[in-house]
Structure formats: C-alpha cells, structure tokens
A and B are shown apart, each in its own frame.
Chain A
Amino acid sequence: VKVTAVQEIGKAIHPVLAAGQIEGGTAQGIGWALLEEVAMREGRMANSQLTNYLVPTTLDTPEMEVVILESPYVHGPFGAKGVGEMPIDGPAPAIVNAIRHLGFDVRAIPATPERLMEAGCVSR
C-alpha cells in the first residue's frame, strides 16, 4: 500500500517542514479513517488511553510520497498559503472509497474491522 499526497500550498517557504506537515497530516488522516474511534460514555471519552484509542504506529503507516504544487499566493506572506490543516482531509475519503469499491458499504469512519464485518454481513 502506498499513499501519494498532493497539496497546492502557495510558496513552500521551508520545503522540508512543509513536506513534514503533509506527511504528518496524512498519517493522522489514515488513523482517522481506520483506527481512531472515540467512545463517549456519560459525556466523557471512555477510551482516553493509548491502549484503547489507537493512533498509527510505524507499522500502520504506509509508504508516503509527497508532491508539493507551488503557485505563489499574492495575498499570503511571501506567497505562502496554509499547509497544516489540509493534509488530514484527503485520506479518509480516499480509503473509504477504496473499501466501498470492494463491495463493503461503509458509511462511517473509522472503518474498523468491526464496521467492515458489519458491512460485509449486511451486503450478503
């Protein structure tokens, strides 16, 4: 599995750090898509430990390629736009679409094994 993340961020003032923001946001997006379930109980998060709220480890994070499209933005400082927030948006739709393409009618994220099992049973 490989992820290619393409972002148009205006001018990349510090390309290493800009790529780092994209890589990190992409990994968080992957976690959001597949692992990071928040369970609320009586108004509180019931799984507020790393034993039960799973964030991606090295073994959960696939190879990533980052493509930075530069097109300097006249209203931004030195031509820059933002880069911190956008990268998290892409992975979940892409992953869920890929899963749906396999015939699992997933309607919520994270697409945990339990949700896939449910979706698989309903479709049969």
Chain B
Amino acid sequence: LRFTLNGRRRDVDAPPMKRLLDVLREECGLTGTKEGCGEGECGACTVLLDGEAVNSCLVPFAQVRGASVTTIEGLDGRHPLQQAFIVEGGAQCGICTPGMILAAVALAPQASLEEIRFGLAGNLCRCTGYTGIYRAVRRARVQGPKSEVRSQGPNGGRRIARRMRSSGQR
C-alpha cells in the first residue's frame, strides 16, 4: 500500500486492518509514536494524516492509501515546537510528548490560549499539568512562521494551516 510518510513515498506491505500505530512502529521502525490507551482516549499515538491530527490507534492501515502521514520523526528534532518543549518544561516523562507536539502543530498559527486548550483536549498529560505545554506552544509561535510542518505532501504546511483555520480545531 502506497502512502507518503514524513515527506517520502513509501510502499508498505501490511494487513489492511492493522492499526496505523502498529504499522508505523513495526513495519516502518518509527517508534517515536507511542501507544497509550489503544482506545482513542489519550492521544499519545497522535499523528498527522493529511495535516489533521488523528489517533493512529483508531486508523486502519487501509485508510492511509495515497495519504500523507507525519510522525514526530518527520519534525527532525529541530522544529520550533520541539525546542520550545525542551526550554519551557513542556515534556517530563515523555509519553504524551510526540502526540502532544503533533497536535500542537495542527493548531492554527495564531491560536489563542483558549483555542490551544481546546485543540489539545484530546491529548492527556499526567506530568506537567499542561501549563508548561501552553508556555512551549506560545513560545514556538513567537519564534515565527517556521512553526508549520513543511514539505509534507503536495502543498507543504500551508495546507495544514488553511484547513485548521477554516474548520476550527480538531
């Protein structure tokens, strides 16, 4: 089944009903995506599917045919959000962090604090009380336009920004 993974075209052989989460971790070797609850409650396994934040434990692999998937590895460690999470204490134990960062990537660039809270409500964090995460998201935004995913799929990050603006939050 062909799809785009972190900007590169991939052809992966896996059962169609296998969870996208497991395909990413087992077939693709990308273990940055974490399994939390496995039932769509916690958001630890959040990835971007065509720019939209989804729980990869609830997505059958067949659904990503031709789509663009972004995992935490796709941000390369240098995304402003990743740096801001380090500086502001947005990460403690780290299990929620990959999903939290990708959910934050999907937020509108100029989201208010209330919109950030609403947009991240599907991602549970037990360590930080969310306060450090808000600081990190706001810090990353101040650092400029780079806080969008680039080079993912045909339209790059612009598609994400447009969609999130027009449809509100996830």
Residues of A within 8 A of B (CB): 16-17, 19-20, 23-28, 49-51, 55, 57-59, 61, 64, 66
Can you name 25 A-B residue pairings with CB atoms under 8 Å? A16-B87, A19-B89, A20-B128, A23-B128, A23-B130, A23-B132, A27-B129, A27-B130, A27-B131, A28-B126, A49-B37, A49-B39, A50-B36, A50-B42, A50-B124, A51-B41, A55-B126, A57-B122, A58-B117, A58-B121, A61-B130, A61-B131, A64-B129, A64-B131, A66-B131
Contact B39 A50 (CB under 8 A): yes
Least CB distance, A28 to chain B, in whole angstroms: 7
CB neighbours of A61 from chain B (8 A): 129-131
Known contacts A20-B89, A59-B117; A50 and B130 CB within 8 A of each other:
no
Contact B89 A49 (CB under 8 A): no
Contact B124 A59 (CB under 8 A): no
Within B71-98, the residues touching A (CB, 8 Å) are 87-89, 92
Q: Which residue of B lies closest to A28 (CB)?
A: B126
Complex alpha-carbon distance, A68 and B121, angstroms? 28
Known contacts A24-B92, A61-B129; A55 and B37 CB within 8 A of each other:
no
Contact B129 A24 (CB under 8 A): yes
Least CB distance, A76 to chain B, in whole angstroms: 21
Least CB distance, A21 to chain B, in whole angstroms: 8
Complex alpha-carbon distance, A102 and B43, angstroms? 36
Known contacts A57-B124, A59-B117; A50 and B129 CB within 8 A of each other:
no
CB neighbours of B117 from chain A (8 A): 58-59
Within B33-48, the residues touching A (CB, 8 Å) are 36-37, 39, 41-42
Contact A50 B89 (CB under 8 A): no
Least CB distance, B131 to chain A, in whole angstroms: 4
Least CB distance, A63 to chain B, in whole angstroms: 8
Which of B87, B118, B126 is the one whose CB lies under 8 Å from A59?
B118
Contact B131 A55 (CB under 8 A): no
Least CB distance, B120 to chain A, in whole angstroms: 5
Check B12 for interface membership: any CB of A closer than 8 A: no
Contact B130 A58 (CB under 8 A): yes
Contact A58 B120 (CB under 8 A): yes
Contact B121 A59 (CB under 8 A): yes
CB neighbours of B116 from chain A (8 A): 58
Q: Which residue of B lies closest to A15 (CB)?
A: B89
Known contacts A16-B88, A58-B117, A58-B121; A49 and B41 CB within 8 A of each other:
yes
Contact B118 A20 (CB under 8 A): no
Least CB distance, A18 to chain B, in whole angstroms: 9
Complex alpha-carbon distance, A98 and B130, angstroms? 23
Q: Which residue of B lies closest to A50 (CB)?
A: B41
Q: Which residue of B lies closest to A30 (CB)?
A: B129
Known contacts A20-B92, A50-B42; A57 and B121 CB within 8 A of each other:
yes
